[in-house]
Amino acid sequence: MPQDIAGSEQMLANWNQNIQERAARYQEMATRVQGMTISERSSDGSIEILVGSNGILQNLVIQESASGKRMAEVSGEIMKLLQRAQSRIPALLQEAMAETIGTQDETANVLFNEAKKNFPAPPAEEPVRTPYDRNEMNFRVEEDAPPPSRPTPPPPPRRRRPSDDDDDFGGESVLS
């Protein structure tokens, strides 16, 4: 019986050590992820953002060169940059997991899948339009189609032909 107790104590000690090592790896991963930031910059350099690993905007810099843009363009660019930065979070999380707890861990896979769901890839970029594109006039000649026709007036009401009936109404209705 002492061997069974010694074996059980050893098993509990191994289990406890395994849990402590795993907790230390998770703590290391959490520390790494918590310190990660992602920055994105607009193509012309007029807007720059910094996003934390939780997806929250930490810093926004709008250069003076953006003053010539319409506010709708600036806000749209900020949102595109934010989404682009947030979409990089799952890859950073996966990298931190691979270096600390491994990618085979079930909890790590749940965290990664949740991050992919919360921070999906941004939509495809639309081609950049110049101010001339928005004000473009169309001088194209349409196909030689006939001009739209005017609606035809309804035909006049039809009168009944007088009959040989001797109704003294002259072939017309009593109500007319």
DSSP the chain: -HHHHHHHHHHHHHHHHHHHHHHHHHHHHHHHHHH-EEEEE-TTSSEEEEEETTS-EEEEEE-GGGGGS-HHHHHHHHHHHHHHHHTTHHHHHHHHHHHHT-SS-HHHHHHHHHHHHHSPPPPPPPPP--HHHHT----PPPP-PPPPPPPPPPPPPPPPPP-S---SSTTS-TT-
pLDDT at residue 167 greater than cutoff 90: no
> What would the pLDDT profile of 74-132 be if each residue is shown by its tens digit?
999 999 999 999 999 999 999 988 888 888 888 888 888 899 999 988 877 766 565 55
pLDDT at residue 137 greater than cutoff 70: no
> What would the pLDDT profile of 49-75 be if each residue is shown by its tens digit?
999 999 999 999 999 999 999 999 999
pLDDT at residue 44 greater than cutoff 90: yes
Q: State the residue for tokens 């720059």.
A: 48
Residue 120 or 163, more confident? 120
Point out the least confidently predicted range of 2-11, 44-53, 94-103: 2-11
Residue 131 confidence (pLDDT): 54
* Percent of residues, the chain, with pLDDT higher than 90: 39
Q: How confident is the prediction for the chain on average, in pLDDT?
A: 82
Collect contacts of 13-17 with beta carbons under 8 A, ≥24 apart.
Answer: none
How many residues are there in the chain?
176
- Quickly count: other Cβ atoms within 10 Å of residue 149's Cβ: 6
CA-to-CA dists, residue 168 to 160, 165, 176, angstroms: 15, 8, 13
- If pLDDT is split at 50, 70 and 90, which confidence band does 15 have? very high
Residue 138 confidence (pLDDT): 54
**What are the backbone angles phi and psi of residue 63, rounded to the nearest 5°?**
-75, 160
